[in-house]
Amino acid sequence: MSDIKYSEISSILKKELSDFQFESKLSEFGIIVQIGDGVVRSFGLNSAFYGELVEFPDETKGMVLNLEEDHVSIVLLSLSKNLKEGDIVKRTGKIFSINVGENMLGRIVDTLGNPIDGKGPIKGKLFEMPLERKAPGVIYREPVKEPLQTGIKFIDSMIPIGRGQRELIIGDRQTGKTTIAIDTIINQKRFFEKNEPVYCIYVAISQKGSTIARISKILEEKGAMSYTIIVSATSSDPVSMQIFAPFSGTAIGEYFRDTGRPSLVVYDDLSKQAVSYREISLLLRRPPGREAYPGDVFYLHSRLLERSAKIIKDQEMAKNMNDIPLSIKNQIKGGGSLTALPIIETQSGDISSYIPTNVISITDGQIFLEKDLFHSGIRPAINESISVSRVGGSAQIQSMRKISGTLKLDQAQFKELESFSKFGSELDSSTMDILRKGKINTEILKQNPHDPYDIADQIAIIYVGTKNLLKKISIDKVSNFEKEYIFYLKEKHENVLISLRNGIFDEKISEILETVALELSDKYIT
């Protein structure tokens, strides 16, 4: 239906209805004038506000997205076959919210918070949390200084993430993006077992049902579902559900954050969410901008990611936080956090296209995964030269910071010389040494999927690499050496690992690590 015809309908309706003194009713009610593709245009609803939830006769819900002069545009939150032009739509006066509670842990829910795992309703007390909410103001935030350990050697040593940080995972298709996020969730098990859980929320956006089933199975098998919630909007769900799924995940994360606990949200992935948003925006006839995305796609992602924060400890102060939902008003505690790991898919490694640059600019760093590295067997396939963590460094534990300081530089120097050495020129012995050390470190930094390392084990093995203690061993034996070395430390030097875990690294510890490494490495010399 063309716009002209449509405003004509509106004006006719207006005229007809004014005769009946319906004017006041029209502020609360509307009439569907057009419906299709999950979008409804309605006449009336004069008092509706942006983001308001509206209800149709068959109980289908919608959300007001465009307020225009002669009509209101609404996206439907579920598919409905019954709705037709002429049907009534009514305001609810509410904004889009979901019910969140402790018993959501271990469950798979949809964007509306309804369980979809066939395990029955979510029991226990639930609290209404709004999907859209202002980010905590700067006075309610603390600097990021507590680690959010991923269990991935490469990341915890060189691109450390802190609680409250937003770290982007970016790369082409099939480069290991999801694996990094899932392994970070799996790694939180050790904190759950210590009674210091980090509550994890994995938001699957526009993925296939089978992929989500696979992910939930891995999390289940690794014992990670006890502290994890999966929010899923599959590619066959209504587009609106795919757009709002990350907001649901954030609302759940905020429940934990504002009740004084650490939470972690993974958005997998925001490129697909942006595509859904573009689809809806075109249907709403919003003016398309670059790559046909609406101009506010930037705002969509920034208002989502701004809600990640480390909240101040001061309880009384935290209670004054802006926009606290009524439902949790009595439970507010300071010290909580929400860490975000958004994922973005690139095309042919191009991080300078529209959506990737947008999200890079609103995060505190990025982990860039490269196809070539992945295919050459370097996994996780992180390109260290353009991967950074802008705030996490101060969140690293002392012992890790002490031993990993030179690693990034060493590896950068190695990469540079490596590409240079490909030209086949004669290499002097110091260059050969750097190359060899770099190759050993590259081996040390490789890691299998779903096998996160305790921070102490990471420090112990990385120390061996940075100290160049494996000079003589053959490259293909590094992983065998590593296994035996860590096993040996666990058996004979548990106290060293405990110290490392507690941030302690001193002369005595370095001596033990060196002695053990040199002794064991003898076996692997060829």
List contacts with ligand ATP (CB under 6 A).
171, 173-179, 345, 379-380, 447-449
Rg (CA), the chain: 27
Cis peptide before 269 (omega within 30 of 0): yes
Q: Which two tokens stand for residue 425?
A: 């020129």
3-state DSSP assignment of residue 205 = strand
Binding at 179: pick from Mg ion, ligand ATP, none (beta carbon under 5-8 Å per type): ligand ATP
Q: Minimum distance from CB of 451 to ligand ATP (Å)? A: 9
Pairing status of strand 127-130 against strand 97-100: antiparallel
Phi, psi of 206 (to 5 degrees): 55, 35
Strand partners, 367: 169
Considering the complex, state which of residue 96 and residue 374 has its C-beta at the smaller distance from ligand ATP.
374
Strands 309-310, 228-234: pairing is unpaired
Which partner from the list Mg ion, ligand ATP, none does 15 bind, CB cut-off 5 to 8 Å by kind?
none
Interacting stretch for Mg ion, rule CB under 5 A, among 126-134, 172-180, 234-242, 372-380? 172-180
- 390 is annotated as an active-site residue: yes
Among 80, 178, 389, 441, binds Mg ion (CB under 5 A): 178
For 152, 231, 252, 270, the CA distances from 204, given in Å and listed in that order, are 22, 6, 14, 10
Check residue 78 for interaction with Mg ion (CB under 5 A): no
Candidates 7-15, 174-182, 354-362, 426-434 — which segment interacts with Mg ion by CB under 5 A? 174-182
Q: Which residues of 146-179 are buried (b: 16+ CB within 10 A; e: fewer)?
A: bbbbbbbbbbbbbbbbbbbbbbbbbbbeebbbbb
Query: Residue 133: which of ligand ATP, Mg ion, none does it interact with, CB under 5 to 8 A by kind?
Result: none
Q: Encode 296-322: b = buried (16+ Cβ within 10 Å), e = exposed.
A: ebbebbbbbbebbbbbbeeeeebeebe
* Closer Cβ to Mg ion, 275 or 332, answer by number: 275
Nearer to Mg ion, 184 or 441 (CB): 184
Nearest to 58 by CA among 83, 92, 93, 28: 83
Distance, in Å, from the CA atom of 170 to the CA atom of 381, rounded to the nearest integer, reads: 11
437 touches, from Mg ion, ligand ATP, none (C-beta below 5 to 8 Å by class): none
Smallest gap from Cβ 235 to ligand ATP, in A, equals 12
Q: Which does 379 bind (CB under 5 to 8 A by kind): Mg ion, ligand ATP, none?
A: ligand ATP
Binding residues with Mg ion: total (CB under 5 A):
2
Q: Which does 307 bind (CB under 5 to 8 A by kind): Mg ion, ligand ATP, none?
A: none
Report, in Å, the least distance between residue 436 CB and ligand ATP.
23
For residues 337 and 346, which CB has a smaller minimum distance to ligand ATP in the complex?
346
End-to-end Cα separation, the chain, in angstroms: 77
Q: How far apart are CA 522 and CA 443, in angstroms?
A: 18
Shortest Cβ 178–Mg ion spacing (Å)? 3
Helix, strand, or coil (residue 169): strand
Nearer to ligand ATP, 368 or 414 (CB): 368
Contact 375, 176 (CB under 8 A): no
Min. distance of Cβ 299 from ligand ATP in angstroms? 25
DSSP states of 372-399: HHHHTT-SS-B-TTS-EESSGGGGS-HH
Residues 6+ apart with CB under 8 A from 428: none
The residue (of 320 and 448) whose beta carbon lies closer to ligand ATP is 448
Query: Smallest distance from the beta carbon of 179 to ligand ATP, in angstroms?
Result: 3
Residue 393 interacts, among Mg ion, ligand ATP, none and using kind-specific CB cut-offs from 5 to 8 Å, with none
Q: Determine if the peptide bond prior to 143 is cis (ω within 30°).
A: no
Catalytic residue among 141, 190, 303, 390: 390
**Do residues 435 and 411 lie in contact, with contact meaning Cβ atoms separated by under 8 Å?**
no
Residues comprising the chain, all counted: 526
Task: Extract the runs of DSSP E, i.e. beta strands, from 84-163.
Answer: 88-95, 97-100, 108-109, 127-130
Residue placing its CB nearer to ligand ATP in the complex, 271 or 499? 271
The alpha carbon dihedral of 129, 135, 141, 144 has a sign of positive
User: Based on CB atoms, which residue is closest to ligand ATP, 176 or 334?
Assistant: 176
Residue 448, contacted partner among Mg ion, ligand ATP, none, CB below 5-8 A by kind: ligand ATP
Q: What is the nearest approach in angstroms of ligand ATP to the Cβ of residue 212?
A: 12
Min separation Cβ 155 and ligand ATP, Å? 11
Q: Which is nearer to Mg ion, 173 or 194 (CB)?
A: 173
Shortest CB 340 distance to Mg ion, Å: 16
Residues with active-site annotation: 390
Q: Which residues bind Mg ion (CB under 5 A)?
A: 177-178
